A and B are shown apart, each in its own frame.
Chain A
Amino acid sequence: EPEVTQTPSHQVTQMGQEVILRCVPISNHLYFYWYRQILGQKVEFLVSFYNNEISEKSEIFDDQFSVERPDGSNFTLKIRSTKLEDSAMYFCASSVGSGAGSLTQYFGPGTRLTVL
C-alpha cells in the first residue's frame, strides 16, 4: 500500500540554525500539507500546497517557513533561524483532492524536531 514517507525521523538542531524537513507524498496525490504537533497538544495546520504554489497557510506559517517541491517526488519544509518553540513533531500529508474532495489526508510518520 502506498504511503507518505518523511526524513529524517528525528532532527536535532541549534537555535538559529536552518533545517529542511523532507517528505515524499503518495505518487498520484496532488495536494500536499504540513502540520505540526507540539508534544501533548493538538495537530496544527501549517500550509497546503497545490500546483507548485501555496494554496492556504495558517498564521503560524510566517516568513520563517517556506515550502518547496524541488522535483516530481519530494516536498520540503524549510524552517529558517529555528527557535526553541519550533520543537515539535512535523507531519507531512497528501491527498488526491481538496476541499470537498479531500476525504482522506494520508499522514507520514512525522519528523521530530528538537531545537536546543
Chain B
Amino acid sequence: GQSLEQPSEVTAVEGAIVQINCTYQTSGFYGLSWYQQHDGGAPTFLSYNALDGLEETGRFSSFLSRSDSYGYLLLQELQMKDSASYFCAVHRDDKIIFGKGTRLHILP
C-alpha cells in the first residue's frame, strides 16, 4: 500500500521559520513534491525533490531523504499570506498521491 503522514496543523509567528514534515510509504517512488493551497483555491506547485538533499527556492526550501522515506518543507520569514494548507505528494508512475495536508496558521 501507500501512505503519507504529515501534521494536520502547525502554528507559527510572522517572521519566524517553520518546518512541515512528511513521511511516506510507497512503491515506485520517483520523488516528493510540495503544494500550497489557499482556501477555495487550487493547489500550486512549490517544490520537487527527486534526489536526497535540500532544494531552495526563495523563502521556501524542501528536503528529501529517500533512505528514511522522509522529507520536509521549510518556510522562512513567514508572511501572513503564507497562511494556507501545504500538501506533500509522492510521484509514482503516472500519478501524484497527496498527503492529507498541513494547515499553517500564522500569528501576527
**Which residues of A come within 8 Å of B, CB atoms?**
31, 33, 35, 41-45, 48, 50, 55-56, 58, 91, 98-100, 102-110
Establish whether residues B96 and A102, one from each chain, have CB atoms under 8 Å apart when the complex forms.
Answer: yes
Give CA–CA (A42, B101) in the complex, Å: 6
Residues of chain A with a CB closer than 8 A to B101's CB: 42
Residues of chain B with a CB closer than 8 A to A41's CB: 100
Chain B: residues with Cβ within 8 Å of the partner, total of 24
Establish whether residues B48 and A104, one from each chain, have CB atoms under 8 Å apart when the complex forms.
Answer: yes
Let me know if B84 is at the binding interface, CB within 8 A. Answer: no
Residues of chain A with a CB closer than 8 A to B35's CB: 43
Let me know if B71 is at the binding interface, CB within 8 A. Answer: no
Residues of chain B with a CB closer than 8 A to A91's CB: 42-43
Residues of chain A with a CB closer than 8 A to B87's CB: 42-43
Establish whether residues B42 and A109, one from each chain, have CB atoms under 8 Å apart when the complex forms.
Answer: yes
Beyond A91-B43, A103-B48, A104-B48, is A43–B94 a contact (Cβ under 8 Å)? no
Establish whether residues B98 and A42, one from each chain, have CB atoms under 8 Å apart when the complex forms.
Answer: yes
Residues of chain B with a CB closer than 8 A to A110's CB: 42
Give the shortest distance, in Å, between A81 (CB) and chain B (any CB).
25
Residues of chain B with a CB closer than 8 A to A100's CB: 30-31, 50, 91
Give CA–CA (A31, B96) in the complex, Å: 12
Interface string of B36-61 (1 = CB under 8 A from A): 01000111110010100000000000
Known: A43-B87, A104-B48. 15 other contacts (CB 8 A): A41-B100, A42-B100, A43-B35, A45-B97, A48-B94, A50-B94, A56-B93, A56-B95, A58-B95, A100-B30, A100-B31, A100-B91, A102-B30, A107-B44, A108-B42
Among B92, B93, B96, B98, max chain A CB count under 10 A is at B96
Residues of chain B with a CB closer than 8 A to A105's CB: 45, 96
